[in-house]
Amino acid sequence: MLQTAQSARVSVDGRTYLAFCSNDYLGLASDPRLARAAQEGCGRYGVGAGASHLILGHSEAHHALEEALARFVALPRVLLFSTGYMANIGMVTALAGRDDAVFADRLNHASLNDACLLSRAQFRRYPHCDLEALEKLLSATRARRRLIVTDAVFSMDGDIAPLPRLVELAERHDAWLLVDDAHGFGILGDRGRGVLSHFGIATPRVIYMATLGKAAGVFGAFVAGEPAAVETLVQRARSYVYTTATPPLLAYAALESLRLIEEEQWRRERLAQLIRVLQGGLAANRWRLLRSDTAIQPLMIGDNADALEVADRLGQRGLLVPAIRPPTVPQGTARLRISLSAAHGEDDVARLAEVLNDIARQ
Ligand SMILES: *Cc1c(COP(=O)(O)O)cnc(C)c1O
């Protein structure tokens, strides 16, 4: 059990660890300025929203955050959801139904898969980033409406989806492209604007979703896109309509987080430097570090028991790294999911590499 705020050094069950487990990629989750913003928001708006957005739960803090996010990601309209899970469920089920088809990367996040199943559309999964296979599926479909659904940064691999080519396919086959940027928002692109900025993509075919509980260090999520598509969500996304709005104090804190994401470029530079330190430190290790330019740096172990044992030995030496096993990842690809954060120092990452090299030699 975690007894401290989320950070590079945490206390778990009475012991202090250097941790590589969180999605707090920019080190903002325990930033005192965010905590102060949350307190100030609490002072103004109290704790609970008290109602759903469409009744009287939509506060000026939610509104200001939606406007700021739309400007930041350069899309016309934004809708806040309570969590990324709920955003994905709402987005896919509002846009696809019985006569439609959704095409999904096999390594998409569980919430997208659940959303596709719940939509009752035809659900076709294509092998990871295999655009030829996707094109075949798109050519064969006779569905009325077609949605391509993908993670922008794959959460257990750290690689980035080939979005420019996915946009081409979406245009060629008159499909929507739904992009889940949970791990790219705040990290990729100009000032952390996310994966669309990273690739310079601007098209009305994209519906963009990102979360506020990872790099942004707060809680919540949003969907952004063309006004008509977002209006469809307001009308039909059941995980938006039939739920209490998130506490406005969190929207207020997220506004401050957005300011820090945009202004503190050094956090992304630090992350890039830490990735280099890790890659250099593990270059001669017998386990392979997957190629990733994001904060997610998986070390491929293979066997489930081995992965658990390595994680356990790291723990004994004061380092926390989660072992990820099937069914979260495919059979035979158990791995350590090392996640880096701007809260880490270079010496922290060097220490992790040194201990991992030590364990690999035993
Ligand atoms: C974490 C995550 C989500 C869910 O977001 P929450 O806000 O934690 O519910 C959705 N998609 C991806 C790819 C994620 O990594």
Whichever domain contains 190, its CATH number is 3.40.640.10
Q: Indicate which residue of 183, 197, 198, 344 is catalytic.
A: 183
How far does the centroid of ligand 1 lie from the alpha carbon of residue 111, in Å?
7
How far does the centroid of ligand 1 lie from the alpha carbon of residue 159, in Å?
16
pLDDT reported for residue 25: 98
Are 316 and 243 found together in one domain? no
Are 146 and 188 found together in one domain? yes
Distance separating alpha carbons of residues 288 and 338, to the nearest angstrom: 12
End-of-domain residue from the set 232, 262, 292: 262
Over its length of 362 residues, how does the chain's per-residue pLDDT go in tens digits?
A: 999 999 999 999 999 999 999 999 999 999 999 999 999 999 999 999 999 999 999 999 999 999 999 999 999 999 999 999 999 999 999 999 999 999 999 999 999 999 999 999 999 999 999 999 999 999 999 999 999 999 999 999 999 999 999 999 999 999 999 999 999 999 999 999 999 999 999 999 999 999 999 999 999 999 999 999 999 999 999 999 999 999 999 999 999 999 999 999 999 999 999 999 999 999 999 999 999 999 999 999 999 999 999 999 999 999 999 999 999 999 999 999 999 999 999 999 999 999 999 999 98
Are 61 and 174 found together in one domain? yes
Looking at the 3D structure of the chain, how many domains does it have? 2
287 CB within 6 A, ligand 1:
no
Are 167 and 256 found together in one domain? yes
Q: Indicate which residue of 155, 257, 292, 339 is catalytic.
A: 155
105 CB within 6 A, ligand 1:
no
CB 25 within 8 A of CB 186: yes
**234 lies in which domain range?**
52-262
End-of-domain residue from the set 209, 232, 262: 262
Q: What angle do CA 62, 114, 158 make, to 5 degrees?
A: 80
How far does the centroid of ligand 1 lie from the alpha carbon of residue 239, in Å?
15
84 CB within 6 A, ligand 1:
yes
Distance separating alpha carbons of residues 16 and 321, to the nearest angstrom: 14
CB 12 within 8 A of CB 320: yes
Are 147 and 207 found together in one domain? yes
What is the secondary structure of 264-322 as a DSSP string?
-HHHHHHHHHHHHHHHHHTTT-SSEEPP-SSSEEEEEEESHHHHHHHHHHHHHTTEE--
Spell out the residues 6+ positions from residue 37 whose beta carbon is closer than 8 angstroms to its own. Answer: 252, 253, 255, 256, 257
In degrees rounded to 5, what are phi and psi of residue 132? Answer: -65, -45
Distance separating alpha carbons of residues 104 and 133, to the nearest angstrom: 11
End-of-domain residue from the set 235, 262, 289: 262
Tens digits of residue pLDDT in 140-178: 999 999 999 999 999 999 999 999 999 999 999 999 999
CB 238 within 8 A of CB 88: no
Are 204 and 283 found together in one domain? no
Whichever domain contains 274, its CATH number is 3.90.1150.10
211 CB within 6 A, ligand 1:
yes
Task: Kindly state whether residue 43 falls inside one of the protein's structural domains.
Answer: no
Tell me if residue 344 is catalytic. Answer: no
Task: Kindly state whether residue 4 falls inside one of the protein's structural domains.
Answer: no
Task: Kindly state whether residue 222 falls inside one of the protein's structural domains.
Answer: yes
Task: Kindly state whether residue 112 falls inside one of the protein's structural domains.
Answer: yes
337 CB within 6 A, ligand 1:
no
How far does the centroid of ligand 1 lie from the alpha carbon of residue 180, in Å?
8
Are 227 and 311 found together in one domain? no
Tens digits of residue pLDDT in 45-79: 999 999 999 999 999 999 999 999 999 999 999 99
Pull the structure tokens for residue 188. Answer: 């990729």
pLDDT reported for residue 362: 86
Are 252 and 275 found together in one domain? no
Q: What angle do CA 331, 334, 336 make, to 5 degrees?
A: 160
Are 157 and 297 found together in one domain? no
109 CB within 6 A, ligand 1:
yes
pLDDT reported for residue 110: 96
pLDDT reported for residue 72: 98
Task: Kindly state whether residue 33 falls inside one of the protein's structural domains.
Answer: no
Are 236 and 269 found together in one domain? no
Task: Kindly state whether residue 241 falls inside one of the protein's structural domains.
Answer: yes
How far does the centroid of ligand 1 lie from the alpha carbon of residue 82, in Å?
11
Q: Indicate which residue of 53, 62, 214, 344 is catalytic.
A: 214
Burial grade of 259 (CB within 10 A; 0-12, 13-18, 19 or more): middle
pLDDT reported for residue 278: 98
Instruction: For ligand 1, pick from 211, 239, 257 the residue to mutate: most ligand atoms within 8 Å of CB.
Output: 211
Task: Kindly state whether residue 60 falls inside one of the protein's structural domains.
Answer: yes
Are 273 and 251 found together in one domain? no
Are 232 and 100 found together in one domain? yes
Pairing of strands 296-302, 334-339: antiparallel
Task: Kindly state whether residue 46 falls inside one of the protein's structural domains.
Answer: no
Tell me if residue 111 is catalytic. Answer: no
222 CB within 6 A, ligand 1:
no
